[in-house]
Amino acid sequence: MAEDIRDKPVDALTATEARRELRLLAQEIETHDRLYYLAEQPTITDAAYDALRQRNSAIEARFPDAIRKDSPSLRVGAPVAAAQGFRKVRHAKPMLSLGNAFEASDVEEFEARVRRFLGLDADAPLALVAEAKIDGLSLSVRYENRDLVLAATRGDGEEGEDVTANVRTIADVPDRLPDDAPDILEVRGEVYLSRREFQRINQDRAAEAAPLYVNPRNAASGALRQLDAAITASRKLRFFAYSWGEASAPLAETQTAALARLGAFGFVINPLTETVVGAAGALKVYGKVEAARPSLDYDIDGVVYKVDRLDWQERLGQVARAPRWAVAHKFQAEQAETVLLDIDIQVGRTGALTPVARLKPVFVGGVTVANATLHNAYEIERKDIRKGDTVVIQRAGDVIPQVVRPILEKRPADAVAYVFPTRCPVCGSEATRGADADDKVTRCAGGLTCAAQKLERLKHFVSRNAFDIEGLGGKRVEELIERGVVTEPADFFMLERRAAAGALDIETWEGWGRASTTKLFDAIRARRTIGLDRFLYALGIRQVGEATARLLARHYGDLEALERAMAAANDPASEAFADLNAIDGIGVSVAADLTAFFHDPQNQTVLAHLTDILEIEPVAAPVATSSPIAGKSIVFTGTLEGMSRGEAKARAEALGAKVVGSVSKKTDIVVVGVDAGSKAKKAAELELTVWTEAEWLAVAAGDDA
Ligand code: IVH
């Protein structure tokens, strides 16, 4: 096998490799997001997931020109849960997540980054606040005229769920703020359960033979999302405040003072919070908090460091999903040893064969673990994992555990290397490994003739971010297939008609019933009109996640145009193929998967049946922002005195401009600082628009709405 790009240090990547790696990372991370948030079936640990995101960010930092439109760093976490009964609410300001640090050097790098961005001298003190990272659920509580009016979960960061009634039962969340609090204030923090309360709840549940919660966080989530607030009230949820969203008046000048004010308003501030100087000070607190962790009565999973000065926080701003002024320094994932009893192969939607380790159950990271992912054939080989091995497994957060390595000293004498199947265990078709080093996945060649692929594709089709048909879970889809009622997506839309015509006695099936069937038919009918982006995503085309589906929908506008283009693009020498490849965010391999999908006669039939019954709505391209530099390309040259180069770049990008390194006739604006050299000269020669730093600062001060 060719050298594996994933193992290559970021520093050693060429620009071409970086682009390729960013593309792969975007796809991989999107897949894991989907598994985690939508299927609630993560296949990698938090730590492994963090490592992917971290690598993505590191490559983007080194190759900013290679940042993709569908970059994971431009997306916030979870899609909003479509839980019944909770109203969706839009946050006045988005709820961000945090970048991660794992090593001391990452924390030092955080400090260096902040200093560079702010243009601070090495000897200027940089105060940081170190706070315990509470392992609970983030919550935003809104006060208007000092009365609690709304409490919302984080959701996808933009939109969460209205859990006001439940939050009113939490003693740590005041109903009313004192007179000196701002007229409008959104207080943010973490809802959690003490370990003791978690145990008490589980004891009660055991007595009622109800399923137990695996850890305090899940129990807290269960308690917060009760439709009956009386149940929430009976489970003593607690709340630490550590941040805020909209505020009609500034709270303070520093994070330290702001926390003190929140404390004075009646919120609980975590007692492990400390104000320190620089990374060195932060790391001392990390050591202390880590030592205190076992004796705490609540779960924490790291320490968060935040720049203390709020005016600096403001200037630092955010990179898409995470603030530049804060970082989460995570604790090591918990590990344990157990025996690997067997390796099973699961077949997914795109035919990927995923090996799953069946383990002797072991308690780790707060839960009993019996299964762990082995990722792919390549990983099994690389780690040389064998049946019968004693293995180290690792589990962090809420994710399916991972097999880290075998313990060779404990290997049974008769253990043999695992032979990955060359045929699909479900349909018997040939299973082949990806042709190049980028593609480590073994795939079943059976396509829709493979029962596993068919089932997974149909499940995907109705899933939350696709057609989102409520009441059609995996089990029901399976039953519809088994009964021979559904064999392709269009069949879902025929169910009602066939039932009405008496050709289908769904209502008599066990567990379906009249009410639930009527509801299901309503849900299906409601989806006869669907946006092109969702539609494309729902098709389950390999490598086409939500972001790519959106890109395609925006580029081609409507399905007909897209189908025409895909047919033409089947010839790699065609203009249509070049056009497809030129879409920013789509590379050769996605293009190949796309054209192959649309070229396949089976898929063409599936599509034709769907277009007969559905109304597929075109998607409009996004409107540009209204800033004077939106869509312009801008070059900074010379020394800027008002802000660092990094800050200028970030600001220009926030205003919709593209910052480029060299001057050409395509450049729109050249901002000339002190001692500008050849670039300023070239700008003059090309008669480009040249701005002084003062002119730039005037634009930079504008609103980025
Ligand atoms: S600050 C912009 N501070 O960690 C501010 N978050 O991994 C973003 N969390 O979504 C959050 N303890 O749910 C912050 N002291 C703390 C925290 C904390 C726990 C959670 C929070 C956030 C997640 C990010």
Residue 416: the pLDDT is 95
Residue 1: the pLDDT is 35
Mean pLDDT of 257-280: 98
The average confidence (pLDDT) of the chain is: 89
Rounded to whole angstroms, the Cα distance separating 647 from 649 reads: 5
Is the model's pLDDT at 29 over the cut of 90?
no
Å from CA of 561 to ligand 1 middle: 44
Residue 588: the pLDDT is 84
Mean pLDDT of 514-521: 91
Residue 213: the pLDDT is 85
User: Following DSSP, what letter does each residue of 663-684 receive, concatenated?
Assistant: --TT--EEEE-BT--HHHHHHH
Å from CA of 1 to ligand 1 middle: 41
The reply to whether the predicted model has a pTM over 0.75 is: no
Residue 553: the pLDDT is 92
Residue 269 DSSP class: P
Residue 79: the pLDDT is 42
Nearest CA, atom 23, ligand 1? 97
pLDDT grade for 230, boundaries at 50, 70 and 90: confident
pLDDT grade for 560, boundaries at 50, 70 and 90: very high
Mean pLDDT of 574-589: 82
396 closest CA partner among 212, 173, 133: 133
Question: Which of 53-57, 450-454, 602-606 is predicted least confidently?
Answer: 53-57
Sequence-distant (≥ 6) Cβ neighbours of residue 68 within 8 angstroms: 22, 23, 26, 584, 585
Residue 37: the pLDDT is 58
Residue 460: the pLDDT is 95
Residue 332: the pLDDT is 84
Is the model's pLDDT at 675 over the cut of 50?
yes
Phi, psi of 52, rounded to the nearest 5 degrees: -65, -45
Catalytic: 632?
A: no
By the 10 Å C-beta count (0-12 exposed, 13-18 middle, 19+ buried), 178 is classed as: exposed
Question: 649 by DSSP, 3-state: which?
Answer: helix
Is the model's pLDDT at 366 over the cut of 80?
no
Mean pLDDT of 561-583: 89
Å from CA of 185 to ligand 1 middle: 18
Is the model's pLDDT at 623 over the cut of 70?
no
Å from CA of 542 to ligand 1 middle: 34
Residue 499: the pLDDT is 92
Mean pLDDT of 254-283: 98
Residue type, 689: T
Quick: pLDDT tens for 76-92: 544 433 334 688 899 98
Question: Which of 21-25, 42-46, 481-485, 492-496 is predicted least confidently?
Answer: 42-46
pLDDT grade for 70, boundaries at 50, 70 and 90: confident
Residue 567: the pLDDT is 94
Nearest CA, atom 6, ligand 1? 133
349 closest CA partner among 542, 534, 505: 542
Ligand 1 atom with the smallest distance to the CA of 77 is 10
Rounded to whole angstroms, the Cα distance separating 457 from 541 reads: 9
Residue 2: the pLDDT is 41
Mean pLDDT of 417-437: 90
Rounded to whole angstroms, the Cα distance separating 166 from 227 reads: 8
Mean pLDDT of 91-98: 92
Quick: pLDDT tens for 277-313: 999 999 999 999 999 998 999 999 999 999 999 999 9
Residue 509: the pLDDT is 92
Sequence-distant (≥ 6) Cβ neighbours of residue 413 within 8 angstroms: none
Ligand 1 atom with the smallest distance to the CA of 100 is 7
Residue 249: the pLDDT is 97
Mean pLDDT of 337-363: 94
Residue 677: the pLDDT is 86
Sheet holding 633-637, edge to edge: 658-659, 633-637, 669-672, 689-692
Residue 101: the pLDDT is 93
Å from CA of 98 to ligand 1 middle: 7
Residue 568: the pLDDT is 94
- 3-state secondary structure string across 416-432: CCCCCCCECCCCCCEEE
Between 242 and 49, whose confidence is greater?
A: 242
pLDDT grade for 539, boundaries at 50, 70 and 90: very high
Question: Which of 187-191, 222-226, 581-585, 616-620 is predicted least confidently?
Answer: 581-585
Residue 30 is encoded by which pair of tokens?
Answer: 């999107």
Residues with CB under 6 A from ligand 1: 96-98, 131, 133-134, 138, 190, 242-243, 304, 323, 326, 328
User: Following DSSP, what letter does each residue of 309-333 receive, concatenated?
Assistant: BHHHHHHH-EETTEETTEEEEEPPP
Residue tagged active-site, from 88, 133, 459, 632: 133
Ligand 1 pocket mutation, candidates 46, 54, 221, 242, criterion most atoms within 8 A of CB: 242
412 closest CA partner among 393, 391, 392, 394: 391
Nearest CA, atom 9, ligand 1? 133
pLDDT over 70, % of the chain: 94
